Amino acid sequence: MANTSAQDAFVEFDHVQKSYDGETLVVKDLQLRIGKGEFLTMLGPSGSGKTTCLMMLAGFETATNGEIYLNRKPINNVAPHKRGIGMVFQNYALFPHMTVAENLAFPLQVRGLSKADQQAKVQRALDMVELSAMGGRRPAQLSGGQQQRVAVARALVFEPDLVLMDEPLGALDKQLREQMQYEIKHIHESLGVTVVYVTHDQSEALTMSDRIAVFNDGRIQQLSTPEALYERPENSFVAQFIGENNRIDGKIREIHGNACAVEIPGGLTVQATHVQGAGAGAPTTLSIRPERVLMSAGDQPVPGAIDGRIEELIYHGDHIRVRMSVAGNPNFVVKVTNRQGHQPLAEGSTVKVGWDPADCRALDPMSA
Amino acid sequence: MPEARTAAPLRTADGVPLKTALARAQRRAKWRAAGLVLPLLLFILASFVIPIGQMLFRSVSNDEFSSHMPHMVAWFAENGDAEPDDAAWEALVLDLRQAREDRTIGLIGTRVNYELSGTRSLFTSTARKAEDMEPPYREALLDADEDWADPELWGVMRRASSPYTDAFYLAAVDRTRDATGSVEMVDENRQVYVAIFWRTLVLSVTIALLCLLLGYPIAHLLATLPMRYSNLLMILVLLPFWTSLLVRTTSWMVLLQSQGVVNDVLVWIGIIGEDGRIQMMYNQAGTVIAMTHILLPFMILPLYSVMRTIPPSYARAARSLGATSWTTFRRIYLPQTVPGMGAGILLVFILAVGYYITPALVGGTTGTLISNLIAFHMQESHNWSLAAALAGILLAAVLLLYWLYDRLVGIDNMKLG
């Protein structure tokens, strides 16, 4: 993973704020350093400020306060066309009145390259996205996936150090989207460019990124590797937004270093990992991933087991989703792997569920 | 696929050729569709195709002389270019008598008068005397008026004896036929139409280009502003549409005349002196200013409809690829608005070419257009055939431009909204 220490941050947002109407802040005090060659994804629901950040970096929006540095130079007052940043747009924005080759040659023409250089680079870019034979076609004559590749090629053809991608796969169907995720990832690895990628699709973010910045309400909620984000969410929003998550509201009883005891509805006390800064007596929301819940129907011991009633069984082939009522939460989901000899399950029966305290994180209380 | 074509035609399960079966299946729907279209089709036929056809027919029709002078027509048919002989003079007298009886002599005189002025009275006065004329008719007629010997008059009558003529079209382009029948220009002081056609063309092009220049930024603003502002602006653009044409034209007169608002303001702030008031009305300037204003919406609307469909991400993409804002406009935005520009220019030009009220009111003598002359011939001189010929030329010119546009831009690329 790229090094992101202060001195070699390639892109830096320094206390950036953005307001459109002078009354509300869309981006609140953003601090973000992106290393050279890194693939960083801005992930968040719509309206979370991620696209605004990208547009400020591209130069189409100006920061209301704070400074953005590119390669250690402030770029707030640099016009977009002088920033040398490649960009892939949500709907590709391929120029409809030009052929594919003309689209790719456009950034080279405006840079005053010779005709021969242009041709060589366009050809190389077309080869890279495996569309060598399509140079003479109009964008409208290409399929969605092909247009997408042309858009990527166009953003890379003038060899920028930084490429921005604004939900580039949003318009593709699921299968094509997955294929393009790998292609973009491979291009990133082979060229070593820095990529800032915006999406609201968490699986896209998890598979492609070096690091993910989860945006909500104009702030970065958590900035970590995909693995850390999924395994160790730092607040309820991240736990809820990334992957599937079971919640149990409770109150902290005692804290022992990293661990804590939490009282849950029904008067029981369970062990969890203490994450938020709150002390004993504070309300908390426990977060457990469905695949980390242990279940025992009979006498098998489960640590800290509590009772759960099976409400519904949903067959998924490789696994079975079990919806249960646990500690007052009627939507507590457990994934049971469909392997030979797994325990028999029946709707309406009561079983013991439990978890390793390391898998259960006591986060900030979630009101909703 | 060539294989499919050489194979036997496909048949339905019953053995009926597929094409026949398809036509049968669709027949009901076709008839129903035709029934719905029929009223409009009839309306267009009655209100457009027939009148235009009649107008075009009138521009070549020539029956005032030929239908009322049967003996002359017969003589000309037999003798062609020959000098008038006794039979000819007799035929003339017989026809004059009959025409006086039928009260059609005025029509005949007027028709000949179109090509040879001063002859209307010749016909009416001679016809009065024709009743008492006796052979030899040549002497009798020359006795009544010397002008009957004029070979030019006989040339005009010969041409008028055919039911069809090109005389009105020739007149519409300042040309006429001399006694021998060859085409020549009319006298210099009577050449009007070509100059006015040319002026109509130049002014219409000027107006169309001015509309484009003024309308382009407005249309762009309309297409890019947030909805609540653009709606307000759209109302401002359309407001003139809902105001009477006459009111708009006369308000320009109030503004532009030499004692008008614009001149008053210029004098007041001292840019021009009291005696240096600018003549902006009753000349070409007046026509151009008022018509540009009136036709502006016809440019803005097609432009707007095209610009609205161009997503702002194109401009952003171009900028991110390194293009300056000027290059972005020239290479990316402008080419995509060509269909709207073409439609707007064509629309404004075609409307301007046929415009009547505004040039009539503010054009003065140097700012009148061909439509004003057409109206003159319809209402004042009652030479409907010449009016029809002028209109026919105008129609042909517009169709020619339309064809040119189709060849250059492609009519499929035109977007009217």
The answer to whether B321 contacts A81, with C-beta atoms less than 8 Å apart, is: yes
Q: What is the pLDDT of residues B313-323, one digit of tens each?
A: 999 999 999 99
Mean pLDDT is lowest, of A33-47, A293-307, B98-112, B135-149, for A293-307
Which residues share a beta bridge with A199?
A: A43
Which residues share a beta bridge with A351?
A: A308
Distance of alpha carbon B96 from the chain centroid: 37
Taking the C-alpha atoms of residue A91 and residue B61, their distance in angstroms, rounded to an integer, is: 62
Tell me, which fold does domain A244-363 have in CATH? OB fold (Dihydrolipoamide Acetyltransferase, E2P) (2.40.50)
pLDDT of res. A5: 46
pLDDT of res. B36: 92
Taking the C-alpha atoms of residue A19 and residue A63, their distance in angstroms, rounded to an integer, is: 8
Nearest to A110 among B314, B317, B321 (CB): B321
The answer to whether A110 contacts B317, with C-beta atoms less than 8 Å apart, is: no
The answer to whether A110 contacts B314, with C-beta atoms less than 8 Å apart, is: no
Taking the C-alpha atoms of residue B348 and residue B334, their distance in angstroms, rounded to an integer, is: 19
Taking the C-alpha atoms of residue A306 and residue A269, their distance in angstroms, rounded to an integer, is: 9
Contacts of B317 in chain A (CB under 8 A): 87, 89, 93-95, 154
Which residues share a beta bridge with A167?
A: none
On the question of pLDDT at A296 being above 80, the answer is no
On the question of pLDDT at B416 being above 80, the answer is no
**Chain-wide mean pLDDT for chain B?**
87
The answer to whether A85 contacts B321, with C-beta atoms less than 8 Å apart, is: no
Q: Does B327 touch chain A (CB under 8 A)?
A: yes
- Report chain A residues touching chain B, CB-CB < 8 A: 58-60, 79-87, 89-91, 93-97, 106-107, 110-111, 154-155, 158, 164
Q: What is the pLDDT of residues A40-98, one digit of tens each?
A: 999 999 889 899 999 999 999 999 999 999 999 999 999 999 999 999 998 899 999 99
Quickly tell me which residue has 């140097």 as its tokens: B366
Q: What percent of chain B has pLDDT over 90?
A: 30
pLDDT of res. B414: 62
Mean pLDDT along residues A126-135: 89
The answer to whether A81 contacts B322, with C-beta atoms less than 8 Å apart, is: yes
Residue B275 contacts residue B260 (beta carbons within 8 Å): no
On the question of pLDDT at A3 being above 60, the answer is no
Identify how many contiguous H helices and E strands chain A contains and give both numbers.
8, 20
Mean pLDDT along residues B344-352: 91
Distance of alpha carbon B310 from the chain centroid: 35
Mean pLDDT along residues B228-232: 90
Contacts of A85 in chain B (CB under 8 A): 320
Band (pLDDT 50/70/90 cuts) for residue A228 is: very high
Q: What is the pLDDT of residues B266-314, one digit of tens each?
A: 999 988 888 888 888 888 888 999 999 999 999 999 999 999 999 989 9
Contacts of A106 in chain B (CB under 8 A): 318, 321, 323, 331
Mean pLDDT along residues B159-179: 85
CATH architecture of B194-413: Orthogonal Bundle (1.10)
Q: Which helix (H) or strand (E) holds B267?
A: helix B261-268
Write out the two tokens for A66.
Answer: 């704070």
The distance of B342 to chain A (nearest Cα, Å) reads: 16
Phi-psi region of B19 (alpha: psi -120 to 50; beta: other; left: phi over 0): alpha
The answer to whether A58 contacts B317, with C-beta atoms less than 8 Å apart, is: no
Q: What are the DSSP E strand ranges found in A36-123?
A: 39-43, 65-70, 73-74, 85-88
On the question of pLDDT at B263 being above 50, the answer is yes
pLDDT of res. A300: 60
The answer to whether B319 contacts A80, with C-beta atoms less than 8 Å apart, is: yes
Residue A89 contacts residue A151 (beta carbons within 8 Å): yes
Q: What are the DSSP E strand ranges found in chain A?
A: 9-18, 27-35, 39-43, 65-70, 73-74, 85-88, 162-166, 194-199, 211-216, 219-224, 246-256, 259-263, 269-274, 283-288, 294-296, 306-315, 319-326, 329-337, 350-354, 361-363
Q: Is the backbone peptide bond immediately before B136 cis, with ω within 30 degrees of 0?
A: yes
State how far the alpha carbon of A326 is from the alpha carbons of A207, A292, A330, B373, B382, in Å.
Answer: 32, 15, 6, 93, 99
Mean pLDDT is lowest, of A181-195, B334-348, B398-412, for B398-412
pLDDT of res. A298: 54
pLDDT of res. B3: 46
Q: Does B253 touch chain A (CB under 8 A)?
A: no
pLDDT of res. A121: 93
Phi then psi for A363, rounded to 5 degrees? -105, -175
Taking the C-alpha atoms of residue B131 and residue B97, their distance in angstroms, rounded to an integer, is: 6
Q: Tell me, what's the ipTM?
A: 0.81
pLDDT of res. A303: 64
Q: What is the pLDDT of residues B98-134, one digit of tens each?
A: 888 888 888 888 888 887 888 888 888 888 888 888 8
Q: Does B400 touch chain A (CB under 8 A)?
A: no
Mean pLDDT along residues A341-364: 83
On the question of pLDDT at B368 being above 50, the answer is yes
Q: What is the sign of the dihedral through the CA atoms of B221, B226, B229 and B232?
A: positive
The alpha carbons of chain A give a radius of gyration, in whole angstroms, of 25
Q: Does B322 touch chain A (CB under 8 A)?
A: yes
Q: Where are the domains of chain A?
A: 6-236, 244-363
Contacts of A155 in chain B (CB under 8 A): 320-321
On the question of pLDDT at B201 being above 70, the answer is yes
Q: Where are the domains of chain B?
A: 2-60, 63-165, 194-413
The answer to whether B321 contacts A84, with C-beta atoms less than 8 Å apart, is: no
Q: At what angle do helices B284-307 and B245-256 cross, to 10 degrees?
A: 130
Is A6-236 a domain of CATH 3.30.70.600? Answer: no
pLDDT of res. A297: 56
Residue B354 contacts residue B203 (beta carbons within 8 Å): no
The distance of B324 to chain A (nearest Cα, Å) reads: 6
Contacts of A158 in chain B (CB under 8 A): 321-322
Mean pLDDT along residues B179-187: 79
Question: Which CB contacts under 8 angstroms, 24+ apart, belong to A299-303?
Answer: A302/A352, A302/A353, A302/A354, A303/A271, A303/A354, A303/A355, A303/A356, A303/A357
Count of CB pairs separated by less than 8 Å, A with B: 66
Residue B290 contacts residue B249 (beta carbons within 8 Å): yes
Q: What is the sign of the dihedral through the CA atoms of B123, B125, B129 and B134?
A: negative
Contacts of A87 in chain B (CB under 8 A): 316-317, 320-321
Contacts of A79 in chain B (CB under 8 A): 319
Residue A12 contacts residue A68 (beta carbons within 8 Å): yes
* DSSP three-state, residue B300: helix
On the question of pLDDT at A345 being above 90, the answer is no
Q: What is the dihedral of CA B280, B282, B285, B289, to 10 degrees?
A: 90
pLDDT of res. B222: 93
On the question of pLDDT at B45 being above 60, the answer is yes
The distance of A195 to chain B (nearest Cα, Å) reads: 15
pLDDT of res. B317: 93
